[in-house]
Amino acid sequence: KKIYHEILSAKAENRKLLAVLLDPDKVDMDNLSVLIEKIRTSPATHIFVGGSIVETNKMDELVHFLKNGLSLPIVLFPGNPSQISTFADGILFLSLLSGRNPDYLIEHHVNAVSVLNKSTLEIISTGYILIESGSQTAVERISKTKPLDRNNVEYVCQTAKAGEYLGNKLIYLEAGSGAKLAVPIEMIKVVSKEISVPLIVGGGIRSQQAIQAAFEAGADLVVIGTAFENDLNFFTHD
């Protein structure tokens, strides 16, 4: 349980965590050594790997390469069970609590058990909550679920707390990759006070200031995907 323990101790010490999300479909596989170098010199504490529609062999290839080049924990962030690479260190076992599609609440999880049982992956149950972000995102399209109203902070809070009561070890507020609007700061403030498990925030965060604002509002771990994907020097800008 190394990864989760580390997240818990970081939270206890108010040490903020940053994950770089890599989508094997978008990563330039011919230039992986540059990518590795950029990550190595970045403030990233975790690598998340996943995407909406990735094949297992692509996941394996990328995870394998990252494992060899970096000492950061590699955590799967899968869109479905076919994306589970047993070369990674851990997996966010996501239940899409904002939606009412049973496939993403439990069905995919049942189907993932046989591969998980053959792996040494650290399984971290995560209540995944999609927040409306100005336009339709891939999560919404693929999961065929509606995001929660970004103005209804109370309902989002209740959803997050229900996720914690169900035993989720993490709560993840997600605006969606490439989101127009990130999760509202006010929502991060209220939800982080409501729950006692660590809070992950991601989607549409594109500047150092936005990362900082999410941390100050109460996010324990911020996820950066698109901004780094589009500009490998993202973390060296002011």
Which residues sit in the known binding site for Mg(2+)? Answer: 23, 52
Q: How far is the CB of 49 from ligand 1GP (least distance, A)?
A: 11
Q: Using CA atoms, how far apart are residues 170 and 187, in angstroms rounded to an integer?
A: 16
Using rule CB under 6 A, residue 202 touches ligand 1GP: yes
**126: burial class by Cβ within 10 Å (0-12, 13-18, 19+)?**
buried
Q: How far is the CB of 145 from ligand 1GP (least distance, A)?
A: 15
Cα dist. 191→92, 97, 197 in Å?
A: 20, 14, 10
Q: How far is the CB of 127 from ligand 1GP (least distance, A)?
A: 14
Q: How far is the CB of 11 from ligand 1GP (least distance, A)?
A: 19
Token look-up 């890599």 returns: 22
Using rule CB under 6 A, residue 224 touches ligand 1GP: yes
Stretch that binds ligand 1GP, among 33-41, 51-59, 149-157, 176-184 (CB under 6 A): 176-184
Using rule CB under 6 A, residue 203 touches ligand 1GP: yes
Q: Using CA atoms, how far apart are residues 178 and 174, in angstroms rounded to an integer?
A: 11
Q: Using CA atoms, how far apart are residues 68 and 54, in angstroms rounded to an integer?
A: 21
Residue numbering of the annotated binding site: 23, 52, 172-178, 203-204, 225-226
Q: Using CA atoms, how far apart are residues 205 and 229, in angstroms rounded to an integer?
A: 12
Using rule CB under 6 A, residue 51 touches ligand 1GP: no
- Interface with ligand 1GP (CB under 6 A): 21, 174, 177-179, 202-205, 223-227
